[in-house]
Chains A and B, each alone.
Chain A
Amino acid sequence: MDGAKVTLGRTAALYAGAAVLRLALFTLFPGLPDLLTGRVEISTPVTSFKRLQEGLFLYNHNVSPYDGGVYHQAPLFLPLFSLLPSFATLPIFTYLLYIAVDLLSASALIKIADSGEAGSSVHFTSPRREKRWSGFIVAAVFLFNPFTIATCIGRSTSVFTTAAILHAIAKAVAGAPFSAMVAISFASYLSLYPLLLLPPLLILCYDRRNALKPIPSRYNFAVSNVALVVGVIAVLFQMSRFLTGSWEFLPSTYGVQLTLSDLTPNIGLWWYFFIEMFDSFRSFFLAVFWLHLSCYVGGLSIRIRRQPLVVLTLLLGLFAIFKPYPSISDASLFLAMVPLYRHVFPLMRYTFVIAAVIMYTTFLGPAFYHLWIYAGSGNANFFYAITLVWGLGLSLLVCDLTFAVLRDEWEVERPEMVGKDIRQI
């Protein structure tokens, strides 16, 4: 009883600390939010707060927000931000909204961590599960991650997607498929790519739900949940159409993500590739890139069927590398999920290299961007090289985590091999 209270108190203190830190950054450094909003590492064309304000202005003046060709975000952001007091006069409410969303994400993360799903899923129990971090630490790692803080201060709208995804996972872990499906529909509505998380999320829901109360038919379960997602998204689309008065938002939001028509540099791998691409091959390679992004879903879901949360984590990592408009916000979501696997950290082999590469690119990326855009002493290749290294660092982390999780599984089957080196033949 006491322990619970203490935990509660600690969590509240954590939330308070994170909120105060963010508020302090917002208020003590008034130039910082706008500086971060302008950074390509934080604001992509589909998440930028600046573009949101442009859309908001048009929306409030009864012009279609998509007319300027600047705003590429979901229409439902517009009434949400219109309800807040004007950003120009009272920015504090916007700040508070973003802080609240971050704290919501953290609370979802605590639920996921405390469920212990990472260490022992329905079909698999890791022998190392005792050595784990509590929800408090996982949430702290998320809330005080500089990437998360920068995203929050930069007011990128991807924080809403992050919160929706984390809540979907938390609900799935709690065995509440309905809420999980609604949450993932919201996430997909906001930024399209979370739709790819649906298969592993369904598996996770099914496993957890089945353990609580046996489900008679898998097939019915899958179909009804997919129908639910389709239904929720359809409702959201209808609301959007009602708000903007036409289906114009579809090509301007999802169309831009699918066709990469805005080639503003970002930390991903797509923009440079498609700047260089021959026009006649552009549509083909767009399809290749999207297929590449989605082809991992099936393979990973089948291979790590026994630990669906691992699949979700790895997919988030892959999306942070390979999605069309990635930002450090996607990386921060992935890095928030990684501490759940504290128990397999000893099995990872490249932790130092990964940490070094991520730090290296974190500092060199902005420097090279400055050299290219402002100083003019570098060119696009400088920045692109750094984004490649950034992708390399994240993919090393994804691979290493995959390896560690699979090794963990394998050692359960082959206990005599615990602690032995492996080699490829």
Chain B
Amino acid sequence: MSARRPLNNGATSAKSSPEATIPPTVRPETPSNDAADTTSARKQPPPEKPSDVRRRTYVILSFWLIVLLLGLPIWWETTTIYRANLPLSEMLDWADGKACRPVFPLRISIQANSLHEQEAQNLLRLTQHALDDLNDFSGHHLRLQLSPPAAKEAEKDDAGAALTIRLIPGESTTSTLDPYSPILDITYPPHTIPSATSSSSSLATYVASQLRATFAEEQAIISYLLSSDSMPSDHRPQGLTPEAADSLSKRTTRSLKHAPTYHLTFSLFTSGPLPSSWDIEAAIAEFMKPVLDVLSPIHNFTIDTQVQLYATPGVQNQVLTKEDLSSFINAAEWPLSPSIGGAPTVNFIVFVGNQTILAAPQGSPDETDRTSQSWLIPQWGTVYLLPLPSDTTHVSAEKLKQPLLTFTSHLLSLTGTPQSGSLPLRLSTLARIRSADLLLRASSTLGSLARLALALPSISIPESVADGVSKTMSHLRLACETLGGAEGLGHARIAEAEAERAFFEKSMVGQLYFPDEHKLAVYIPLLGPVGVPLLLGLLNEIKAWRKRRRERAEQQATKKKE
């Protein structure tokens, strides 16, 4: 009989099979000649040699030394997340509007050459009172000042003033806005000049109400911007009626997102082989360039043109209804690239054809935006239907006059220019609106970034983001101080660009969604199988070491007893 007990021979264990033993094979039919079997059926393995025990300890130690001395420092070094310090509370202050009260101080100079200094001062004081009484929105200040008569010729240089009021003696109280320069002419009958002691004057009230009317739209737009943003309520203007807010929101959605540069694409589409050329360059130079030049402090424009023959529109009807307009653009076939070189594209399309547009029903809100031949597509551009004789081969600049004038007015509307007032006033208003808009947008981006950094403690924040944030904040501060001027717009523009760059930092975007469970999924599949034998080896070794120590202690105890 050769039934043997498993023999523990760890002393000579193979590394691949640490506890190799003889299995308990039972083979009764083969009588064994082995002496060991006959003496004891269940043989214990010989004790491990101390040198073998030590060798095993060394082997385990060699693995653990690599893990502890190289593995751990490398793990620490390579997986530590770098988080640059962000001024989180300041960033949130900006987002909440606590850091900056957007105030637009508008200086309005009064030229009253025919009045005495004293009278003029008095009139100014009264008008200012009247204005302050009328004003319910602290963000938008109209400050009157008297321009000295000597400065009459230098009025153009007085860039600080948003508007100049010229008081001219006349027969009745009238006002006219100069269409080409920011000047409001007010005529007054001489008897309406207030005396030095009077506390009210009809002329002062009239001037105040005229001023207010002139800036009403700007005020409404700015207060709309502020109210749609997360401004604190005490700072929020109250006087916005729901209808006004509605029309303003419509206008805001129509206008393009602000960009320093817009790309204008002029396209001539025709459904047949003709016309095949057009005098677009001359037409642009003549009809559009002046407005582009005026807009140039706020935006740059790049222009390209194209002619496309045999272009079929998305709708072939002779009379286009309102529903047809949205599908008229054949987006699949017409080569209208969405944006060239990063700048947003404004498309102006002249379509040669004799389709007509069904007039909108009376009272439709869009009525004003559309002539019978053109329509404006929000944030995209304009389509103009140009009827031409079928044998026209060349479209002259003269024929393009009407389309280009339409395009120009639509461009102003697309850039978000207010609709009332003279052109210079509208443009200076546009600059102020844009700077407010950019300021708010940069602030809210900062706030989003701060909230992101707070919400995701495991996201890394590279130095470039901290840099961008500090640049944004310094430019925001400057913009806030110089709000209303050209400088303010420049700073707000830089601030917005920097904030966007910091927020969309490439290395952060990839980590936006990386919860801690993912780390488990990254570590476990490889390090789990590697770690288990390492840990078990260490545990066994510690157990064996404690056992040996106990045995030695017992031995010593028995020796002492003896």
Residues of A with Cβ closer than 8 Å to B? 278-281, 283-285, 287-288, 291-292, 294-295, 298-300, 302-303, 305, 399, 402-403, 406-407, 409-410, 413-414, 416-417, 420-425
Contact = CB atoms under 8 A, between A and B. Distances in A.
B14 A402 contact: yes
Contacts of B14: 402-403, 406-407, 410
A284 B78 contact: yes
Nearest to B24: A423
B243 interface: no
B71 A291 contact: yes
Given A406-B16, A407-B20, A421-B22, 6 more contacts: A288-B74, A299-B62, A399-B16, A413-B12, A414-B46, A421-B25
A299 B460 contact: no
B530 interface: yes
A284 B79 contact: yes
Contact of A424 (B12, B20, B34, B78): B20
Given A402-B14, A403-B17, A414-B9, A291 B55 contact: no
A102 B15 CA distance: 34
B526 interface: yes
Interface string B520-561: 001000110010000000000000000000000000000000
B66 interface: yes
5 contacts: A280-B510, A284-B74, A291-B71, A299-B62, A422-B22
Given A292-B530, A406-B16, A281 B79 contact: yes
B511 to A, nearest CB: 7
Interface in B484-526: 510-511, 514, 518, 522, 526
A302 B71 contact: no
B21 interface: yes
Nearest to A286: B78
B465 to A, nearest CB: 16
Contacts of A281: 78-79, 522
Contacts of A291: 66-67, 70-71, 74
A423 B21 contact: yes
B16 A288 contact: no
Contact of B511 (A280, A416, A421, A423): A280
A314 to B, nearest CB: 10
A413 B10 CA distance: 12
A422 B510 contact: no
A409 B79 contact: no
B58 to A, nearest CB: 5
Contacts of B62: 295, 298-299, 302
Contacts of B527: 288
A413 to B, nearest CB: 5
B261 interface: no
A279 B12 contact: no
A406 B78 contact: no
Interface in B67-85: 67, 70-71, 74-75, 78-79
Residue picked from A279, A287, A305, A423, most chain B C-beta under 10 Å: A423
B79 A303 contact: no
Interface residues of B, number: 43
A373 to B, nearest CB: 27
B59 A303 contact: yes
A278 B19 CA distance: 39
Contacts of B6: 423, 425
Given A284-B78, A299-B59, A416-B36, A403 B16 contact: yes
Given A288-B527, A424-B20, A425-B6, A414 B522 contact: no
Nearest to B510: A279
B157 to A, nearest CB: 57
Residue picked from A407, A413, A424, most chain B C-beta under 10 Å: A424
Contacts of A409: 12
Nearest to B534: A295
B132 to A, nearest CB: 58
B23 interface: yes
Nearest to A297: B62
B17 A422 contact: yes
A228 B414 CA distance: 77
Nearest to B46: A414
Contacts of A279: 510
B531 to A, nearest CB: 11
Nearest to A420: B22
Contacts of A298: 59, 62-63, 65-66
B8 interface: yes
Interface in B23-81: 23, 25, 34, 36, 46, 55, 58-59, 62-63, 65-67, 70-71, 74-75, 78-79
A72 to B, nearest CB: 23
B216 to A, nearest CB: 54
Given A421-B22, A423-B20, A425-B21, A295 B66 contact: yes
Interface in B57-116: 58-59, 62-63, 65-67, 70-71, 74-75, 78-79
A403 B16 CA distance: 6
Given A287-B78, A421-B25, A302 B20 contact: no
Interface string B166-191: 00000000000000000000000000
Given A291-B74, A402-B16, A417 B22 contact: yes
Given A298-B62, A298-B63, A285 B19 contact: no
A422 B20 contact: yes
A417 B6 CA distance: 12
A326 to B, nearest CB: 18
A313 to B, nearest CB: 14
A413 B21 CA distance: 14
A303 B55 contact: yes
A295 B21 contact: no
A281 B521 CA distance: 12
B71 A288 contact: yes
Contacts of A294: 66
B530 A406 contact: no
Nearest to A421: B23
Nearest to B81: A280
Contacts of B59: 298-299, 302-303
Residue picked from B11, B17, B65, B511, most chain A C-beta under 10 Å: B17
B21 A424 contact: yes
Contact of A285 (B34, B67, B526): B526
A343 to B, nearest CB: 17
A420 B25 CA distance: 10
Contacts of B13: 406
B12 to A, nearest CB: 4
Contacts of B17: 403, 422, 424
A162 to B, nearest CB: 26
A391 to B, nearest CB: 14
Contacts of A284: 74-75, 78-79
Nearest to A407: B14
A299 B22 contact: no
Nearest to A401: B16
